[in-house]
Structure 1
Amino acid sequence: MSTPGTIPVAGIILAGTFPEHDPRAGLETTLRLFELAEDLGYDVAGIRQRHLERGVSSALTFLAAASQRTRTIRLETDVVPLGYETPFRLAEDFATVDALSGRRVNVGVSTSAPHGDLLASLARTVPTPPSGAAGASPGASGRVGPAAAAADPYALIERFLESLEGHALSDDELSTPYGPQIPRVQPHIAGLRDRVWLGGGSLRSVRWAAARGLKLLLGNVGDGDAADTFEAAQRAHVDAYLSEFRGTDPRIGVERVILPTDSATAAQREHYAAYVAARDERTAEPVSLGGRTVVFQRDLHGTAEQIAERLTSDPTFDGRTELRVAFPYGFDEDECRQILTDIRTAVLPLVGWRPAAASATTGTVAAPAA
């Protein structure tokens, strides 16, 4: 039975930021942090996918490298914007990296297509109807246009899920260099669909995930139309998901920015305090962002006891909800190591979490979690 205020699964989310002229340095740092997370016994290590920024722009490519530097920790994308992806190609990449990792990969996806105005001219193109044809725009003359602008993101996710099922695309065998084969998306690994998470930013996306039996990722920006406070808004989404879930294994992971100060140096404490102060004003009331009303969560900053008190009083953590520690952009490796270690050794034991069996503290190896 789950106990409210406790955290059963704990993981991290990194962005893989890097210097303009030395991307390898930043990516190597992130790989080392994945290794540290595994050594400390965290359950999950996730990577963001960001476009037009100095961070990881291909999450599954990064996880392919991480799969060779880790042995047991679950690997996760947080999240891949489907607006720019070809569904069957993403399914192929997911399956390939999962095979390399020993079946440790979970994929988080979203319906978004960030920076669409800037990337439209570089995205996939589709033919537009000739001028005068049904569905043609005024002045259209067979030009090509950005596919992302025309694609229904939920339809893309449906196609991605279908690709993971491995159904035959034809009854006729396909001639290949390896001999005749029934054509289907390869490699096919049973159960991949069960390891797909949807990043939910609205009630629609939360309900959509629940109706299809997908797992759910929630960030630290809430839906201001659901409630006036972040905590109430996120709990409303959790309740909607659980009540409408159609499947066998409802799972929810939520992001929290956590900055413990227990073993931090004086310079680190000063940096963390300034970071939190710069972001605190936005948490006072709902704000308008990109045409929608949102509520921001306050960063968790202070001693382990102070942070644990906030976590245990957070209505989202009902004993089933998983934690993803979201690391701030641009923090250096020493700061990330201090944060990772303090959360593991000082915060998580206070909220009922126990380390993964594969941690260095036990020396044993467990089967990867789904």
Structure 2
Amino acid sequence: MDATMKRIGFLSFGHWSLASHSATRTAQDVLLQSIELAVAAEELGADGAYFRVHHFARQLASPFPLLAAIGARTRRIEIGTGVIDMRYENPFYMVEDAGAADLISGGRLQLGISRGSPEQVIDGWRHFGYAPPEGASDADLGRRHAEVFLDLLRGEGFAKPNPRPMFPNPPGLLRLEPHAEGLRERIWWGSASDATAIWAAQQGMNLQSSTLKADETGEPFHIQQARQIRRYRQAWTEAGHARVPRVSVSRSIFALVSDRDRATFGRGGDSDQVGIIDNMRAVFGRSYVAEPERLIEELKADEAIAEADTLLLTVPNQLGVAYNAHLLETLLTQVAPALGWR
């Protein structure tokens, strides 16, 4: 792929609520509309349909039934997460779920995993039966689950077979089934800091960097994120991996081409914000909101988008499938080509 070209997908948080503006009033609404938006995005020529995962919230949670359903309804579009909180996951069962969803989709799964984000409840992973060992943190717990998951995805046998099984076994140690060939290379780590981006590179994972990052230098968000990406790629090279890694960034980008667009999003983007999240000083990237011509000029200056090969556009899923398809189509046809992304 040319250095300027981008794979462009959407990222949905999967909210539902009884608010008057919401087209997703129930969990069923979100799930069914997520499938329909992925189908519409594929028809428009988008490259990816990605979904956030949050527990104990009125948002999408367990992702694999949804990913499998989208895989069965589509043929080309990549299907992924951004991100699965590994503190909550049994890596063994997750390998089976992920393998099944990947096979249904024909090898199109792109799984973003991570330590996770701030929670709705206190130490929610404890309710799922997990706790870090003494002296370790919940971040250590998430990374350990990730390491086990990555090792299992290699598909090598590790379990001693029963000498009197219900069904005949192949020779040797047994692995988890179904095995999805190549899925190990389609795992991404959601990183908020330079250090975890370097760790992801060492582990051979692709990099997902979102709209917030640890504020490590006080510089504008896109400059810090671009440096994070460059350090990730340097660590990847030093680790000696054979393949070329992928890097995604997510952005809130809205092109104003209709009265509804202007009424919904206003007439201008905001600026970076700095705040405290999970006891970490973080810089939150700006939204881009403008008419297409101005939007094109503003996006040219975003160094991190220039560094990434994949751009995930956050979508306001509660505004419904048709309106979100309109937002995607406008960006794909009136903005992306002028930037050399398509």
Shorter-chain TM-score tier: 0.7 to 0.9
Q: Which amino acid aligns with 1:122?
A: H
What pairs up with 1:203-218 in 2 under 5 angstroms? 203-218=194-209
Deviation at 1:307, TM superposition (A): 1.8
Deviation at 1:320, TM superposition (A): 4.9
SS in 2 for 1:64: helix
What pairs up with 1:1-370 in 2 under 5 angstroms? 2-3=2-3, 6-19=4-17, 22-112=26-116, 114-115=118-119, 117=122, 119=124, 122-124=127-129, 152-170=141-159, 172=161, 175-181=164-170, 182-245=173-236, 246=239, 247=241, 248-262=243-257, 264=258, 266-273=259-266, 280=270, 283-284=272-273, 286-318=274-306, 320-328=308-316, 330-354=318-342
Q: Which amino acid aligns with 1:187?
A: P
**Whole-Å separation in 1 of the counterparts to 2:185 and 2:139:** 28
Q: Which moved more, 1:193-202 or 1:181-190?
A: 181-190
Deviations 1:210-242 (A, max 9, x none): 112210000011221144210111011011101
**Whole-Å separation in 2 of the counterparts to 1:174 and 1:220:** 52
CA contact (8 A) 1:7 1:323 kept: no
**Whole-Å separation in 2 of the counterparts to 1:209 and 1:150:** 14
SS in 1 for 2:195: helix
CA contact (8 A) 1:44 1:74 kept: yes
Q: Which amino acid aligns with 1:28?
A: L
Deviation at 1:311, TM superposition (A): 2.1
**Whole-Å separation in 2 of the counterparts to 1:16 and 1:150:** 25
**Whole-Å separation in 2 of the counterparts to 1:111 and 1:174:** 39
TM-score (norm. length: structure 2): 0.87
CA contact (8 A) 1:9 1:322 kept: yes
Larger radius of gyration: 1
What is the Cα-based RMSD across aligned positions, in Å? 2.7
**Whole-Å separation in 2 of the counterparts to 1:204 and 1:150:** 13
Deviation at 1:290, TM superposition (A): 2.5
Q: Which amino acid aligns with 1:47?
A: F
Alignment identity in percent?
A: 26
**Whole-Å separation in 1 of the counterparts to 2:116 and 2:313:** 22
SS in 2 for 1:198: strand
**Whole-Å separation in 1 of the counterparts to 2:332 and 2:185:** 28
**Whole-Å separation in 1 of the counterparts to 2:167 and 2:317:** 46
Deviation at 1:39, TM superposition (A): 0.2
Change in CA separation of 1:163 and 1:120 when aligned onto 2, cut-off 3 Å: closer
Deviations 1:123-152 (A, max 9, x none): 215799xxxxxx7x9xxxxxxxxx995962
Unaligned regions of 5+ residues in structure 2, if any?
Answer: 19-24
Deviations 1:172-230 (A, max 9, x none): 56654331244211111222110100001112210111112210000011221144210
Q: Which amino acid aligns with 1:27?
A: L
**Whole-Å separation in 1 of the counterparts to 2:228 and 2:179:** 33
Q: Which amino acid aligns with 2:12?
A: L
CA contact (8 A) 1:106 1:197 kept: yes
Change in CA separation of 1:216 and 1:351 when aligned onto 2, cut-off 3 Å: same
Aligned to 1:362: none
Unaligned regions of 5+ residues in structure 1, if any?
Answer: 129-134, 138-146, 355-370
**Whole-Å separation in 2 of the counterparts to 1:319 and 1:123:** 38
**Whole-Å separation in 2 of the counterparts to 1:148 and 1:222:** 20
**Whole-Å separation in 2 of the counterparts to 1:96 and 1:155:** 23
CA contact (8 A) 1:268 1:335 kept: no
Number of residue pairs matched?
Answer: 329
SS in 2 for 1:330: helix
Q: Which moved more, 1:43-52 or 1:315-324?
A: 315-324
Deviation at 1:114, TM superposition (A): 4.1
TM-score (norm. length: structure 1): 0.81
Q: Which amino acid aligns with 2:147?
A: E
**Whole-Å separation in 2 of the counterparts to 1:328 and 1:273:** 14
Q: Which amino acid aligns with 2:102?
A: D
Deviation at 1:317, TM superposition (A): 3.0
SS in 2 for 1:318: helix
SS in 1 for 2:336: helix
Change in CA separation of 1:303 and 1:62 when aligned onto 2, cut-off 3 Å: same
Deviations 1:6-58 (A, max 9, x none): 33211111122234663212221221110111001111111111122222111
Deviation at 1:289, TM superposition (A): 2.6
Aligned to 1:368: none
CA contact (8 A) 1:10 1:43 kept: yes
Deviation at 1:2, TM superposition (A): 4.2
Q: Which amino acid aligns with 1:272?
A: F
